[in-house]
Amino acid sequence: MTNELLRLLLLALQLGFLALLFVILYRFARALRADLRQAEATAAATRTGMGRLVVLESPGEEPSVGRVLQIGPITTLGRDLNSTIYLDDEFASGTHAALTFRGRAWYVEDRRSTNGTWVNGHRIQRPVALSYGDELVVGRVRFRLER
């Protein structure tokens, strides 16, 4: 093969390599766009609230372990049937605790319950701010606050 042909071949291969790089980038761009569209749809379907409680542990029927409860800006927890979240657990007081969403964060306060409200293993003495991912124990029911 002559030198001239070899140089042409190398030029073609080099341009092919660069073209392949940009084909790859184009495919990434397309995948990103498709993913964003899909994300909008799922966000509309599943993420309307400000947060949710995942039930990690529960001795009674209600609520059952693994349940995901969407919560509103003022949510009460207790053994009273009028609580936003009803707990079938004799260790929970009638109106045991309340979760409120103020400003940019969730707060939990104890409603003078007998056995106390616990956040990440500590009994709370006054209303405290919660982070997403914190664990909350009311009676014998253990929740995790998620986004």
List residues near other proteins by CB under 8 A: 1, 6, 9-11, 13-18, 20-25, 27-28, 31-32, 35, 39, 42, 45-46, 52, 54, 63, 66-70, 72, 81-86, 103-106, 129-133, 144-147
* Shortest CB 90 distance to other proteins, Å: 18
For other proteins, give the closer residue by CB, 84 or 115: 84
For other proteins, give the closer residue by CB, 59 or 133: 133
Check whether the bond before 73 is cis (ω within 30° of 0): no
For other proteins, give the closer residue by CB, 45 or 126: 45
Contacts of 120 (CB under 8 A, 6+ apart): 134, 135
Nearest to 33 by CA among 44, 25, 23: 25
* Shortest CB 120 distance to other proteins, Å: 8
Query: Which single residue is written with the structure tokens 């009311």?
Result: 138
Q: Check if the beta carbon of residue 66 is closer than 8 Å to that of residue 143.
A: no
Query: Which single residue is written with the structure tokens 């947060």?
Result: 51
